[in-house]
Amino acid sequence: MKDIIQLHIPKNSNYIGIIRMTAASIGSKMNFNVDEIEDIKVIVSEISIFFINYLKENQQGFEIDFEIHHDRLEISFLDLNTGELAVEAEDLSLMIIQSLSDDFQMDAANNKAKIIKILNRQV
């Protein structure tokens, strides 16, 4: 069983803090440690910045789904705007996201991204 929290946020860098705070709150409730929560906040910031920089149209916003599983957090990002997303292989945001995520998938053709952060509970 999973819980889903969905945000619909305007595509504006002024609202990245809302996404970060939501991610941090969910991470805390799931018992991620402080470093993992910080990683999650950086990841959602970088995904937001990536879409703001590379998909210029901003008539529509972002849709962010936080899927809360017992062993992981899955965050799906969808830029609701149309347009071509030109992804550069050496993009710093993508490298940061990949290094901090347990799994990262980018669907540039559909303006989507998904990250997975696994909960490593200490026994």
The CATH label, of 3.40.120.10, 3.30.565.10, 3.40.50.2020, 3.30.420.130, for the domain at 3-118 is 3.30.565.10
The position carrying tokens 């809360």 is 68
Distance from C-alpha of 1 to C-alpha of 99, rounded to nearest angstrom: 28
Domain ranges of the chain: 3-118
Q: In what order do the strands lie in the sheet with 103-107?
A: 3-9, 62-68, 72-79, 112-118, 103-107
Instruction: Convert the pLDDT of each residue in 52-110 to its tens digit.
Output: 888 777 788 899 999 999 999 999 999 898 877 777 767 888 889 999 999 999 998 88
Q: For residue range 10-33, what is the model confidence (pLDDT) as tens digits?
A: 988 899 999 999 999 999 999 999
Q: Could you tell me how far CA 51 lies from the centroid of its own chain?
A: 11
Count of Cβ atoms closer than 10 Å to residue 79 Cβ:
25
